[in-house]
Amino acid sequence: MNTQPETQERRYTRVHLPIPVEVFGDSISDIHRSAHLRDISAGGAFLYSQFQPTIGEVLRVNFTVPGIGTDVQISCEGRVVRVEAATASELTGIAVSFERLNLGPW
């Protein structure tokens, strides 16, 4: 019998990157919404926003990572895999699993 607590194994390492992002998706009428990235990995991201997408919805997330000498523009597309109800801050938590990741101009 194993009495050790189970640890959650992740395929990719997450990086905390609290920066603003733009989100595009079907349920938000093809207009962009502002959101704040909490963390990101090669497999997905978690962000906070004032809209509530549906599980399975495809979202495009665009953001710029400040760099030394040059900024990096990133555009990711993926499916919503988890939605956490809005809290007292009125922001919804959204987990997205990436299907595409593009570097460079949008």
What is the domain-level CATH number for residue 83?
Answer: 2.40.10.220
- Domain assignment of residue 2, yes or no: no
Q: How many domains does the chain have?
A: 1
Confidence of residue 13 (pLDDT cuts 50, 70, 90): confident
- Domain assignment of residue 9, yes or no: no
- Domain assignment of residue 49, yes or no: yes
pTM for the predicted model, two decimal places: 0.80
> In the 8-state DSSP scheme, what is residue 86?
P
8 Å CB contact between 37 and 15: no
Mean pLDDT across the stretch 76-90?
88
Flag whether pLDDT at 93 surpasses 70.
yes
* Choice between 43 and 103, residue whose per-residue pLDDT is larger: 43
- Domain assignment of residue 8, yes or no: no
Q: Report CA torsion sign: 33, 39, 45, 50.
A: negative
- Domain assignment of residue 4, yes or no: no
Torsion of Cα atoms, 32 then 35 then 39 then 45, to 10°: -40
Q: Give tens-digit pLDDT for 52-71.
A: 899 999 999 999 988 888 88
Q: Is 21 exposed, middle or buried (0-12, 13-18, 19+ CB in 10 A)?
A: buried
Parent domain of 45: 15-103
